[in-house]
Amino acid sequence: MANKHRGEIDAVLDGKPMTLCLTLGALAGLEAAFGDEDMLALATRFEKGRISARDCQRIIGAGLRGAGFDVSDQAVAAMRVEGGAAGYVDIVARLLSATFAATPGGEGEETRGGEAGRPFPGTT
């Protein structure tokens, strides 16, 4: 079961329940893959709401590897998710929100830098 305080989420990939987590190492890998300078640039990139299928593949792969799974991005590309493309986007949105959004005031109240922030794509 995912620990939301550690930035983990649960997802079902290929019919198997899995936990995903964007660890510091996973985030460093995403910075390199996307050519971003730092985590703020990475968060800003995702906050814009434009996420490609390749982005989903990389983010889900990084989240799985961060949680301890030995899986390549190519293996992630072959995985199936309930809901098709929307299912992949949902996993990515929940993972990014768990990683970058703080909830000091309670569930759903996302902030960054002390100001109210916008949720990531696919979240409310």
For residue 2, name the pLDDT band (cuts at 50, 70, 90). Answer: confident
Residue (of 58, 53, 59) closest to 98 by Cα position: 59
**How many angstroms separate the CA atoms of 114 and 111, rounded?**
6
For residue 121, name the pLDDT band (cuts at 50, 70, 90). Answer: low
What angle separates helix 39-47 from helix 24-34, to the nearest 10 degrees?
Answer: 70
Report DSSP state, residue 37.
Answer: S
pLDDT tens figures, 5-36: 889 999 999 999 999 999 999 999 999 998 88
Report DSSP state, residue 117.
Answer: -
pLDDT tens figures, 56-99: 999 999 999 999 999 999 999 999 999 999 999 999 999 999 98
Residue (of 80, 60, 88) closest to 15 by Cα position: 80
18: which 2 tokens? 């899995």
Instruction: With H, G, I as helix, E, B as strand and everything else as coil, classify residue 5.
Output: helix
